[in-house]
Amino acid sequence: MVIAIGFEGSANKLGIGIVKDEEILANCRRTYITPPGEGFMPRETAKHHSENIHELLQEALDQSGITPQEIDVVCYTKGPGMGAPLMVCAIVARTCAKLWKKPIYGVNHCVGHIEMGRLITKAKNPTVLYVSGGNTQIIAYSRKKYKIFGETIDIAVGNCLDRFARVLKLSNDPSPGYNIEQAAKKGKKYLNLPYCVKGMDVSFSGILSYMEDKIDELLKEYTPEDLCYSLQETIFAMLVEITERAMAHCGSDEVLIVGGVGCNERLQEMMGVMCSERGAKIFATDERFCIDNGVMIAYAGALAFKAGSRMSFEASTITQRYRTDDVWVTWRDD
Amino acid sequence: MGEDLKHLKILKQGAEARLYVCNYLGRPTLIKERFTKKYRHPDLDTVITKDRIKNEARSIVRCKTANIRTPTLYLVDFDRRRIYMEYLENSKTVKDFIKNLSNVENSCIIEQIKILAKLIGESIRKLHENNIIHGDLTTSNMLLVPKNENEEINWLEVDKLDLVMIDFGLSFIDSSTEDKAVDLYVLERAVESTDVPHLEVFHDILEAYQNFSENNTKELINKYREVSARGRKRTMVG
Ligand SMILES: Nc1ncnc2c1ncn2[C@@H]1O[C@H](COP(=O)(O)OP(=O)(O)O)[C@@H](O)[C@H]1O
Ligand SMILES: [Mg+2]
Beta strands of B62-178 (E only): which ranges?
73-77, 82-86, 92-93, 132-133, 142-146, 161-165, 172-173
Helix-helix angle A265-276:A224-250, to 10 degrees = 40
Q: How far is A62 from chain B (nearest CA, A)?
A: 27
pLDDT at A153: 87
Pairing status of strand A254-258 against strand A281-284: parallel
By DSSP bridging, strand A3-8 and strand B161-165 are unpaired
Share of chain B above pLDDT 90, in %: 69
Q: What is the mean pLDDT of chain A?
A: 96
Q: Are A191 and A218 in contact (CB under 8 A)?
A: yes
In 3D space, the residue among B141, B134, B27, B17 whose CA is nearest the CA of residue B81 turns out to be: B17
| Model pLDDT for residues B98-143, shown as the tens digit of each residue | 888 888 776 688 889 999 999 999 999 999 999 999 999 999 999 9
Q: State whether A11 and B170 contact (CB < 8 Å).
A: no
Kindly determine whether residue A143 and residue B195, on different chains, have CB atoms separated by under 8 Å: yes
Ligand 1 contact, B30 CB (< 6 A)? yes
Distances (CA, A) of A227 to A223, B72, B144, B228: 7, 43, 46, 34
Ligand 2 geometric centre to CA of A58 (Å): 53
Nearest CA in chain A to B44: A192
Q: Which of B11, B15, B12 is nearest to B138 (CA)?
A: B15
At position A113, the amino acid (one-letter code) is: H
Question: H or E stretch including A150?
Answer: strand A145-151
Interface test with B, best of A151, A189, A249, A326 (most B CBs within 10 A): A249
Q: Which residue type does B127 have?
A: L
Ligand of minimum distance to the alpha carbon of B21: 1
Distance B224 CA to ligand 1 centre (A): 27
With a 6 A CB cut-off, is B134 part of the ligand 1 pocket? no
Which pLDDT value is given to residue A201? 92
pLDDT in tens, A261-274: 999 999 999 999 99
- The answer, yes or no, to whether any atom of ligand 1 lies below 6 A from the CB of B91, is yes
Q: Tens digit of pLDDT for each residue in B40-60?
A: 999 999 999 999 999 999 999
Which residue blocks in B12-135 are alpha helix, DSSP H? 42-65, 94-102, 109-129
Please say if B136 is a catalytic residue.
yes
Ligand 1 atom closest to the Cα of residue B140 is: 25
Rounded Cα distance, A221 and A199, in Å: 33
Question: At B28, is the secondary structure helix, strand, or coil?
Answer: strand
Chain CA centroid to CA A245, Å: 22
User: Is A109 within any annotated ligand binding site?
Assistant: yes
pLDDT for B109: 84
CB of B81 closer than 8 Å to CB of B33: yes
- Its pTM surpasses 0.90: yes
* Closest alpha carbon within chain B to A293: B238
More confident call, B233 vs A167: A167
Q: Which of B41, B95, B193 sits opposite A149 (nearest CB)?
A: B193
Centre of ligand 1 from the C-alpha of residue B202, in Å: 23
Mean pLDDT of A59-63: 98
Q: How far is the CA of B65 from the centre of ligand 1 (A)?
A: 21
What integer pLDDT is reported at residue B238 of this predicted model?
A: 43
Does position A23 have pLDDT exceeding 50, yes or no? yes
* Cβ-based neighbour number of residue A30 at 10 Å: 19
Q: How far is the CA of A283 from the centre of ligand 2 (A)?
A: 24
φ/ψ region of B32 (left if φ > 0, alpha if ψ in -120 to 50, else beta) reads beta
B28, B86 in Cβ contact below 8 A? Answer: yes
| Ligand 1, atom nearest to B71 Cα | 1
Which of B13, B43, B236 is closest, CB to CB, to A135? Answer: B236
pLDDT score at B1: 55
Distance CA A96, CA B34 (A): 57
Q: How confident is the model at residue B2 (pLDDT cuts 50, 70, 90)?
A: low
pLDDT, residue B6, reads: 78
Picking from A141, A73, A130, A126, the residue whose alpha carbon sits closest to that of residue A331 is A141
Contact assignment for A274 to B39 by CB distance below 8 Å: yes
Whole-number Å distance between alpha carbons of A262 and A290: 6
CB contact under 8 A, A248 and B15: yes
Residue B233 pLDDT > 80, yes or no?
Answer: no
Distance from A151 to chain B by nearest Cα, in Å? 9
Chain-centre distance for alpha carbon A154: 17
Q: Which atom of ligand 1 is nearest to the CA of A245?
A: 23
Cα–Cα distance, A165 to A167 (Å, whole number): 5
Annotated catalytic residue within B45, B51, B77, B136? B136
Average pLDDT over residues A310-317: 96
Q: How many CA atoms lie within 13 A of A98 on its CB side?
A: 9
For ligand 1, say whether the CB of B174 is within 6 Å of any of its atoms.
no
Q: How many helices (H) and strands (E) does chain A have?
A: 10, 12
Segments in B25-102 forming alpha helices (H): 42-65, 94-102
CA dist B231 and B225 (Å) reads 10
Nearest of A165, A155, A134 to residue A228 by alpha carbon: A165
CA distances from B176 to A175, B146, B189, B227 (A): 40, 34, 21, 13
With beta carbons less than 8 A apart as the criterion, state whether B147 and B114 touch: no
Helix or strand or coil: residue B3?
helix
Percent pLDDT > 70 in chain A is 100
Which ligand 1 atom is at minimum distance from the Cα of B34? 22
Residue B197: how many other CB atoms lie within 10 Å = 12
Segment A222-227 mean pLDDT: 98
Q: Is the pLDDT of residue A147 over 50?
A: yes
- Shortest CA distance to B169 belongs to which of B59, B13, B95, B77? B59
Q: Is the pLDDT of residue B234 over 70?
A: no
Q: What is the pLDDT of residues B144-185, one digit of tens each?
A: 999 987 777 788 888 899 999 999 999 999 999 999 999 999
Q: How crowded is residue A315: how many other Cβ atoms within 10 Å of its Cβ?
A: 11
Reference B141, options B16, B51, B54; nearest CA is B16
CB contact under 8 A, A198 and B193: no
A113 annotated ligand binder: yes
The torsion angles phi and psi of A262, rounded to 5 degrees, stand at: -65, -15
Task: Determine contact, residues B85/B168, Cβ cutoff 8 Å.
Answer: no
Q: Are strands A197-198 and A145-151 parallel, antiparallel or unpaired?
A: unpaired
pLDDT at A47: 98
Quickly list DSSP for A208-228. Answer: HHHHHHHHHHHHHHS-HHHHH
Tell me the per-residue pLDDT of B72-99, one tens digit each, with 9 for 90 and over: 999 999 999 999 999 999 999 999 998 8
Q: Can you tell me the distance from the alpha carbon of B101 to that of B117, in angstroms, rounded to the nearest whole number? A: 14
Neighbours of B99 (CB within 10 A): 15
Smallest CA separation from ligand 1 atom 13, residue? B14
Contact B42, B101 (CB under 8 A): no
Q: What is the pLDDT of residues B20-39, one digit of tens each?
A: 999 988 999 999 999 999 99
Query: Which whole number is the average pLDDT over A184-188?
Result: 97
